[in-house]
Amino acid sequence: MIISTDTKELQIQLINKDIPNVLNSLGLMGKIKYGYIKGKNNYICVEKLEQYKHEYTSKKPTKKEILGILLLEQIVKEGKHGDIEEISPSILNEFNVIGDHIKHVSCDPNLCRPKKCNKECLYKNRVEELKEEDITVINHSLLAKWPYKEEKPLENIIVDEGHNLAEKGYDFFSSTIEYKALKYFLKEIYPYEYIGNSPFIYEKYKTSRKIKYFDKFYHHVHFGRDIKEKISRNINLILEELNSVLRFGIESDYNYLSKYNLRWEFNLQQSEVLGNVKKEDEYIELTYLSYSNKIRDSFDKILRNLIAILVIIDRNIDDDSIDKESDIYKFGKARIKELEDIRTTFELFMEFTEEDDFARIIEIDKNYTNFEAKVVPLKLAKLFEENILSQVESGIFISATLSVENNMNYFKNTLGINRVENIEKVIEPLYNYKNKVLTLGLSDLSNYNNKNFTTDISNTIYKICEVTHGHLLSLFNSTDRLDKTYEDLTHILNGKNIDIYKNKKGIRNLKNMNQNCVVLGSKGCFEGVDVPGDGLVCVTLDKIPNLNPKDPLYSTIMKKYGLTYQSINYPQMAIKVKQAMGRILRSKYDYGCFIIFDIGTNGHTLKKLERDLHGCKINIVSKNNIQNYTNNHLNICRKQVMREVLVDVRNLLTITDIDDIKDIEQFVVEQMNQRYIKCRVTSNNHDKLNIKYFNHRYTIPKEKIKLKSKV
Ligand code: SF4
């Protein structure tokens, strides 16, 4: 069986926690073999490490550089699987040079052939183990490619966090050309002898350029200076064109408008206006057209030069005297294959018909230091069916957000699951959302594109914090808004005994019951945040996460297939809001407020959304009333939570032989801590427990441990 989950962190959580729990409860621990595997580039390659170390000796390495290499050697000899993440973060911090080493020694997916490799390699052993393993845990991006078909065919799969496959599926099957990566690749294959001819890549490093592995390949296949000169000339021309794409942005009117990255569908959005520029006292509209034309012209030249390089290599490589079984030959051939793939992506990018099923997306960094050209296949269902569904005997897709508007059509249609025999099963929510989550939308905050919006958000978060004392997660659809709010809120909270953190690393502080803190998070915090009990009592969302109608991918889908904005937008928006709200209820004792700062103006959509939020009504309130609403809801929930937790603790107590009141006190304190319930438990006299839980006080006679509220 293969279990696929969304991220590497979730893979580890399944291996360390969830699978052992299930196996233990089924009495199967020790009888079922399980493990995880990641993509090849997550492992250290022994062969590359040996070669790297050998080449390193010719330089003058520092102590830290040497220690870094020794540490990597230790991992490939004594580590578990030779996984890069076996290096602890503290060591990575201490020896930041290791990061550089890793770039050179991580396994190359194009070169590594574990079956043919004769090295003693932990990764190779791990691949062998797959055959014998009962459960293998992988991540979604690996599932989309599944490179270990021979060792472990995709037969029975469980896909955890299945909704992410629909969202990220387009990325998994896309082909991308990135300026910096392509430049790096060309540098690797640039013939050593002609460094001096290349003003683009080596001007800074002329003196330190050493012979690359690909130079050895040129030598191995007997390429003379004339052939290498031609190749270097073609590479230089490609570089010139690549650089000119960015230079064009800097030297043209686009430079005045690029507050954000430029991003558009190369053919279908080229006539769209991205802004106005002032010319001789007149404002004129600027479209993407001239940038598209420039790129078309440059890519055309790049493609011609790529083809020229491949033709030169092809014509000259077929020499019978070449040893084609040697490692260096295989290395060179793998690089040439990469070059062919790059050419294919350029070709696909440049081909275009109204009817084809691709989006061609250009993204140019706002500082004009990088760009990306992406070919995105739009028939995701077909690809998913061909690559995954057609190979499996059974597949189970699970997630808390597969169903939208009471059905799973969006999920099933996107991934082609509707094309195969399937059964839908909805598991009713374990928790009572309507009682435990109060959902609020604010009626009088400025609109999200108003410049005061983040100041308004900051002031409102502070008001909420006066009630909750932190323990608040604030989610943002835009990192720009997150950063501005962080800045404002840092000033507001200064000296108020509430700490503020940005992004996922701050989450662990929410679990500290003795610390009051607010965490601001973006995309990565909509999922995988699991803070139980009183650790998290309020989640806010900056705005309803609607898709931008001009988003290059989705606007292409709408145009090509005649779909409405609403039909594309609603399912994704509802899933995101559900995920955000879902951060509050993670366990039986959880409760809290879910607050949306800008709820938009579409009442019909909000009504629909309420049904998708487990029937929770979205109460529209004024910012002046936010404290009352929050306070009331938390008070009501806390009474209920304490009632529930006391019943559970009492049930546990009855099956122990604890009798002394001090021991009972200790037991209750431990149980409360385990459940992240922020209360004070004392037993000043000999027959009663006193519990203070926020502004609720309880006195419980020892023999009963029964709830008696004195609120
Ligand atoms: S199997 Fe060989 S090529 Fe692959 S990672 Fe191990 S040592 Fe490197």
Longest CA span, the chain: 97
385 and 522 share one domain:
no
User: 330 φ, ψ to 5°?
Assistant: -65, -40
Q: Is 40 in the pocket of ligand 1 (CB under 6 A)?
A: no
Residue 364 lies in a domain: yes
156 and 243 share one domain:
no
Residue 626 lies in a domain: no
169 and 184 share one domain:
no
Mutate to test the pocket of ligand 1, among 75, 105, 107 (most ligand atoms within 8 A of CB): 107
141 and 212 share one domain:
no
146: left (phi over 0), alpha (psi -120 to 50) or beta: left
Are the beta carbons of 43 and 83 closer than 8 angstroms?
yes
Boundary residue ending a domain (621, 655, 683): 621
Q: Which atom of ligand 1 is nearest to the CA of 117?
A: 2
pLDDT at 709: 47
462 and 531 share one domain:
yes
Q: What separation in Å is there between the alpha carbon of 158 and the centre of ligand 1?
A: 29
Q: Is 45 in the pocket of ligand 1 (CB under 6 A)?
A: yes
Mutate to test the pocket of ligand 1, among 117, 122, 129 (most ligand atoms within 8 A of CB): 117
164 and 183 share one domain:
no
pLDDT, one tens digit per residue, over 247-258 is: 999 999 898 887
518 and 643 share one domain:
no
Question: What is the rounded CA–CA span in Å between residue 456 and residue 474?
Answer: 13
Q: Which atom of ligand 1 is nearest to the CA of 119?
A: 7
Q: Which atom of ligand 1 is nearest to the CA of 46?
A: 7
In sequence order, the β-bridge partners of residue 690 are 682, 699
Burial 393-403 (b: 16+ CB within 10 A, else e): eebebebbbbb
Question: What is the rounded CA–CA span in Å between residue 219 and residue 235?
Answer: 18
pLDDT at 34: 96
DSSP states of 409-447: HHHHHHHTGGGS-----PPPPSS-HHHHEEEEEESSSPP
Q: Is 19 in the pocket of ligand 1 (CB under 6 A)?
A: no
Q: What separation in Å is there between the alpha carbon of 146 and the centre of ligand 1?
A: 18
- Helix or strand or coil: residue 267? coil
- Consecutive H or E run containing 315: helix 289-317
Establish how many alpha carbons lie within 13 A of residue 43's alpha carbon, considering only the half-sphere containing its beta carbon.
26
Are the beta carbons of 437 and 581 closer than 8 angstroms?
yes
Question: Which residues of the chain register pLDDT less than 70?
Answer: 57-59, 199-210, 685, 706-711
What angle (nearest 5°) sits at the alpha carbon of residue 346, between those of residues 342 and 351? 145
Residue 424 lies in a domain: no
pLDDT at 203: 52
pLDDT, one tens digit per residue, over 185-204 is: 898 899 988 877 776 555 55
Q: What separation in Å is there between the alpha carbon of 180 and the centre of ligand 1?
A: 26
359 and 395 share one domain:
no
Which residue from 490, 493, 444 is spatially nearest to 464, judged by alpha carbons?
A: 493
pLDDT at 327: 81
66 and 202 share one domain:
no
Residue 272 lies in a domain: yes
Q: Supply the ipTM of this predicted assembly.
A: 0.99
8-state DSSP, 352: -
- Provide the domain limits for residue 613: 433-621
CA 663 to chain centre: 46
Residues whose CB falls within 8 Å of the CB of residue 220, separated by 6 or more in sequence, listed in order: 322, 323, 326, 328, 329, 332
Question: What is the rounded CA–CA span in Å between residue 646 and residue 624?
Answer: 35
Question: What is the rounded CA–CA span in Å between residue 701 and residue 556?
Answer: 68
Question: What is the rounded CA–CA span in Å between residue 108 and residue 550?
Answer: 37
Q: Into how many domains does the chain fold?
A: 4
598 and 509 share one domain:
yes
360 and 412 share one domain:
no
**What's the per-residue H, E or C state across 105-146?**
HECCCCCCCCCCCCCCCHHHHHHHHCCCCCEEEEEHHHHHHC
pLDDT at 706: 54
Q: Which atom of ligand 1 is nearest to the CA of 44?
A: 5
Q: Which atom of ligand 1 is nearest to the CA of 48?
A: 8
137: left (phi over 0), alpha (psi -120 to 50) or beta: beta
Question: What is the rounded CA–CA span in Å between residue 137 and residue 62?
Answer: 39
pLDDT at 137: 97
